[in-house]
Structure 1
Amino acid sequence: MPEELSPDKKTIDLTEEMPLVEGMETDEEFLLARDLTGFFLKTFKSIRFYPPDNPTIKGFRDQLFKKLQYFLNKYPSFIIQIGEFTLSFKDRVIYENRDTKSSLAFLLYKDGLRELRFAKGLEEWEVQGLMDVIRGSESINQLEDDLVTLIWERDFTHISYLATDDFLEETPILIPENVDQLKSKLIFKPLAYNVQVDIGEEEEDDLDKLISQTVREMPIRDKNVYFLTTEELDRLRAEVESEIDPTFVFNAIDILFEILGLEQEKEPYQDSINLLTKMLDGLLTLGEFQRASDLLKRLYIMIKTYELRDWQAEAIQKLIESAGNEVRIERIGRILEREGGVRLEDVNEYLILLQQNSIKPLIKLLGELKNSKTRRVLCDALSEIGKNAIELFTPFIDDRRWYLVRNITYILGRIGKEKALPYIQKTFNHEELRVRREAVQALGLVGGPKAVSLLIKALNDKDTRIRAMSAINLGRIGKNVGLAALLEAIQSKDFQKKEPAEMKAFLDAVGMLGSNEALPVLQQMLERKSLFGMGKKDETKIGVANALAMIGTPEARAILEKGMNSKDESIRSVCQQALSRTIPSKESPV
């Protein structure tokens, strides 16, 4: 049996059509009416969507009856005022929806209903009958019946209505008194086909002749008759767009989540899960990644906050896992290859919600994508999904595609666990230069003694960029061991021969470590006479002064202040520039 709703039950409010009411509402009757109307709408949605014999429908209907009884026990009647797109209570709007396909207000209004009234003493069969009428109203022949007639035929005791017939009210009808008056009001222009006779004056004996004439002659088609005005074209275009608008899918998702919150039977519960799976596929096909993310988030909320039976939690968990299976990842890949119409931020938001079963399909897709931006999105998502599943990435370290190996190295670096170091070390020795560069960056992100050791080794690599990147990463994580290696490098005879960018990287790394142990070496390098002659710009001195400024201790500032009084113009200049960029002195490290 469906579970009764209670204030303590954690549910998600899915009625996005209900307007927000500003401020604190103090009218108890209005608050109850608004709540009652909200549940009336939920019941209306469920009966439109779910089969009539499903027990979930009974659950909604029973709760609606109880809410109506509660209201009518406090107040003599409950009257809903019906506008074209709104429902009101005592002239205050409590519902608005301008979508003619899903709006309850429009459904009632178009058939002439203007008020729906519930009186004290309401019986359960009347509520059930009204729901049946509303359900059947969408499939009736409009030429034979309407909603007002169906309600009237039910002969409800405690449900009444106010209805109008706009056509009869606004268009007076003249009933002819005789045949001559009827003929005088007939309109004969334009003539049908090629008829050139006055039908109003034709005698009865000539009828056969008239018919034979119209049959023999072909019609003259005047194409001007088929021209549409701008207003007509706009109206038709709007109707077509409403037909292909996926809004109905989003409304159906809301209803399905309401059903999951109430349903207690396995078979209909699984039916709802299956429908949500199809909705997810539809959203992915449309490229609606943000809405697909919202769907998954709501499933996670249900697992964490709802009191679910084991079989319910298992069904939801299977749906979540299926969101990242190979078939759906392939579908996502086809969408990403279009390179247009999809926000990559939304794609990332969806991907990070997937389970670990999606890792291998995503890596497979990563090796196939051609666009670098979409590959980066997949790498960032895999870094989140695979935090506790490094073993799923390591088989791809030996892949023959160097670009995939580089991406796996990028991912392992951002996961940032020392467990990945043996595999990063393999890429550190890779034959492809771009893979080795990525390995150096990954070592800097992982850290630890082993990473520092490999970075020190890379200071002597043949590639300039690898040497510079290794120095910077040592500056981040090297501490005392890294400092010793860096100081040895900047004191070597070959250091002055390096490119300015590489020299700057090494000296910046020393400054990043912020240790006073580097001060004697830096002071010596600063005060050394320029190799390029007195007053000539010395790139080394600029880098040394900046390193002292980055260390920022009182002792480091003292060296810079002393340099401002130097007789060497190049020393004075670089020290003055460095001091102008420094922040207030840091305390000396203990």
Structure 2
Amino acid sequence: MANPGGQHEEVSKEEYASANLVMTAMVKTSKALRIYLPNNPILIGFTDDLNGKMTGHLEKYGEFTLDVEPFVLRYKGKDIYQNQDPKESMACRMFADGIRALFFLPGVESSELMAFLGVAGFELSTSDEDVVTQLWERDLPHLRYLLEEDFIEGHLEEDLTDPGSQQAAVTRVYQALAQQIPPQPRMIPKHLLMLTGEEEKWLRKARQVEARRNGLDDVVNILSAILAGVKEPVIFWDFVGIMGNLTTNMFLGGEIGQALRLIRFMDQLMKLGSTLPEQQRLLAEALAGILNLQTVQVLQETLDGSEAVTHQELKELLLIFGLPSLGAICELLGRVEKLKVRKVIIEVLVELGRENPAVFAPFLNDSRWYLVRNMVLVLSLVGTPVALDMIIKLIPHKEARIRREVLGYLERSGDLKAKAYIVKYLRDDSSALRIKALQVLAREKLPFALKPIVALTTAEEFASRELSEKKAVYEALGELGGEEMLPMFRDMLLKKFWFQKTAEKESAQLAAAGLVRMQTGQALALLQEARNSKRSGEVRDLLEQAIAALALARAKRSG
């Protein structure tokens, strides 16, 4: 027997095509059953065609297996039937009554196929009994099915799914009572009520399954079936409200998986072409009310404390909630601790805000610096001009970690307009950010930065800056200014510093740093000239080191 819900073997094109022909014939015959009398030649033709295609398929490939989902039937993992109308969908009716898999076995007769379609095809039956009961009553020996509860314990043996072992004792009693004339209450012979060993074994296991059964599954199935079929506005709204409240309570109770199941259903129902606009609005309102501060807290604790919700499920969940729940999604981003979870939420926000990044504006003023920093990352991934304008407004932000995130975005950006804003960091309060900006401007050889950097060297406060920052300034001048800077460096190297050895050493260090970055013959000649003018001491040693570094850099570049 196949393994519904598990992995399916690869299906060849020929087998899938054959299964498609069977399914098409089944749909056509189901529709014909509604229209024509049993002796009508057209119906007989459809019936013979279905019987021939099913027989041919079974002889060649064995079982004809269907996995049942709300609006879809799948053959070995591939879609073979889809109908989104709850009133017309064969899949919807079987799924609502608990059937999750069907098996048509070799030897199936035309009468069995017609009996099956008579139950599942929405045509002749006026009985209030569900699909499972009607199929059981018809006792179709070559049709097997699995119910939702059969999946509760994957290790149960096949005898639990064998209609024969489930039905034999009850069938004997039923047949005995049917033979009594007149039909009146009588004592049933004791031997008819005794179970065989196999039946007792099945009953014991069935009771164990029932004890483990989650009643919440039944509630979810019933609500889903009602919402899929009801059209009256008042009743529809009542049940939408019930489902929304139930979903919220599932969140609060930690039943995230069940909540996701209901949310998926409401989202699918909202997107159906047969769902009326007013119904779509009601469903959207219900979905928007589910994610609030309380449910966000529970979801955050679940995401950080366990693996109960996969990253793919989280992404699906947040995309269903969408922009109406943007505030709650951003709040979740501000609370979760796991880096991988934050990454998933950021991916969702990028997708939601790509068309209109302005929706993130309120969150750029949040008091939590780490949330604002993540918003900068979201906007940088959106990457539109509007997103850029929002990001650069944070350059003067009081929190250095946010300013660093903005600088990182400007560094990564390929937009020359964005690069121009890096110059603003030359006046930043943080020395580390000023140095980082100098390094970026120098490495990318942005010519518009030369004048502002030169201006730094003449500012009053420049003398009090740390040597590492001053060195970064002159290295940037060497990278950007080229030979234009030689007169400045010459003056710094050859100027006489009477009785100011510390100042002389610093001046030589800074000029040498710039000349090494120039990597030209003129720079090397100036360093050698300055070295020859120094008889001894630290400055001469410093210049020797600079000459060696410059010569090595030129050799590597030419090599």
After TM superposition, the score normalised by the length of structure 2 is: 0.51
- The residue that corresponds to 2:62 in the other structure is 92
Q: Kindly state the Cα deviation for residue 430 of structure 1 after the two structures are TM-superposed.
A: 4.3
Long gaps (5+) in structure 1: 1-14, 41-57, 82-87, 109-113, 155-166, 172-231, 512-516, 549-555, 584-590
2:48 alignment partner AA:
L
The 5 Å alignment of 1:33-432 reads: 33=22, 70=46, 72-73=48-49, 75=51, 78=54, 89=59, 92-95=62-65, 104=101, 117-119=108-110, 127-128=118-119, 132-134=133-135, 145=169, 243=212, 265=231, 285-286=254-255, 292=260, 299=267, 303=271, 309-311=276-278, 313-314=280-281, 317-318=284-285, 321=288, 324=291, 328-338=295-305, 342-343=309-310, 347-348=314-315, 350-352=317-319, 354-369=321-336, 378=345, 381-387=348-354, 392-408=359-375, 410-412=377-379, 414-416=381-383, 427-432=394-399
Q: Kindly state the Cα deviation for residue 569 of structure 1 after the two structures are TM-superposed.
A: 7.0
Whether contact under 8 Å (2:19, 2:64) holds in the other structure is no
- The residue that corresponds to 2:431 in the other structure is 464
Aligned-pair identity in percent equals: 16
Q: Distance in 1 between matches of 2:487 and 2:43?
A: 87
Q: Distance in 2 between matches of 1:388 and 1:68?
A: 56
2:63 alignment partner AA:
V
Whether contact under 8 Å (1:133, 1:147) holds in the other structure is no
Q: Kindly state the Cα deviation for residue 463 of structure 1 after the two structures are TM-superposed.
A: 1.7
Q: Kindly state the Cα deviation for residue 438 of structure 1 after the two structures are TM-superposed.
A: 3.8
Q: Kindly state the Cα deviation for residue 25 of structure 1 after the two structures are TM-superposed.
A: 0.8
Q: 1:506 to 1:151 in 2, by over 3 A?
A: farther
1:150-175 Cα offsets, whole Å, 9 max, x none, are 89999xxxxxxxxxxxx99999xxxx
Q: Tell me the SS of whatever aligns to 1:117.
A: coil
- The residue that corresponds to 1:519 in the other structure is 482
1:437-469 Cα offsets, whole Å, 9 max, x none, are 345446667898996676423213342222134
2:431 alignment partner AA:
T
Q: Tell me the SS of whatever aligns to 2:305.
A: coil
1:127 alignment partner AA:
G
Whether contact under 8 Å (2:15, 2:61) holds in the other structure is no
Q: Tell me the SS of whatever aligns to 1:95.
A: strand
Q: Distance in 2 between matches of 1:67 and 1:520?
A: 94
Q: 1:78 to 1:373 in 2, by over 3 A?
A: closer
- The residue that corresponds to 1:25 in the other structure is 14
The structure with the greater share of residues assigned to helix is: 2
Q: Distance in 1 between matches of 2:425 and 2:346?
A: 25
Whether contact under 8 Å (1:526, 1:571) holds in the other structure is no
Q: Tell me the SS of whatever aligns to 2:65.
A: strand
Q: Using CA pairs below 8 Å that are at least 6 residues apart, which structure has the higher relative contact order?
A: 1
Whether contact under 8 Å (2:116, 2:135) holds in the other structure is no
Whether contact under 8 Å (1:369, 1:375) holds in the other structure is yes
Q: Distance in 2 between matches of 1:384 and 1:510?
A: 43
Q: Distance in 2 between matches of 1:78 and 1:151?
A: 32
- The residue that corresponds to 1:205 in the other structure is none
1:459 alignment partner AA:
L
Q: 1:246 to 1:478 in 2, by over 3 A?
A: farther
- How many residues are aligned here? 439
Q: Kindly state the Cα deviation for residue 20 of structure 1 after the two structures are TM-superposed.
A: 5.4
- The residue that corresponds to 1:434 in the other structure is 401
Q: Distance in 1 between matches of 2:457 and 2:177?
A: 98
Q: Kindly state the Cα deviation for residue 361 of structure 1 after the two structures are TM-superposed.
A: 2.2
- The residue that corresponds to 1:187 in the other structure is none
1:133 alignment partner AA:
Q
Q: Kindly state the Cα deviation for residue 406 of structure 1 after the two structures are TM-superposed.
A: 4.6
Whether contact under 8 Å (1:344, 1:374) holds in the other structure is yes
- The residue that corresponds to 1:218 in the other structure is none
Q: 1:407 to 1:76 in 2, by over 3 A?
A: closer
Q: Distance in 1 between matches of 2:5 and 2:372?
A: 46
Q: 1:282 to 1:452 in 2, by over 3 A?
A: same
Whether contact under 8 Å (1:320, 1:354) holds in the other structure is yes
Whether contact under 8 Å (2:442, 2:476) holds in the other structure is yes
- The residue that corresponds to 2:158 in the other structure is none
Q: Distance in 2 between matches of 1:547 and 1:60?
A: 87
Q: Distance in 1 between matches of 2:263 and 2:117?
A: 36
The alignment yields a C-alpha RMSD, in angstroms, of 6.9
Q: 1:337 to 1:482 in 2, by over 3 A?
A: same
The 5 Å alignment of 1:521-536 reads: 521=484
Whether contact under 8 Å (1:455, 1:474) holds in the other structure is yes
Q: Distance in 2 between matches of 1:382 and 1:367?
A: 13
Whether contact under 8 Å (1:324, 1:357) holds in the other structure is no
Whether contact under 8 Å (1:34, 1:94) holds in the other structure is no
1:117 alignment partner AA:
V
Q: Distance in 1 between matches of 2:554 and 2:261?
A: 49
Q: Kindly state the Cα deviation for residue 358 of structure 1 after the two structures are TM-superposed.
A: 1.7
Q: Distance in 2 between matches of 1:510 and 1:68?
A: 92
Q: Kindly state the Cα deviation for residue 368 of structure 1 after the two structures are TM-superposed.
A: 4.7
After TM superposition, the score normalised by the length of structure 1 is: 0.49
1:131-151 Cα offsets, whole Å, 9 max, x none, are 653266989995875579989
Q: Distance in 2 between matches of 1:148 and 1:562?
A: 111
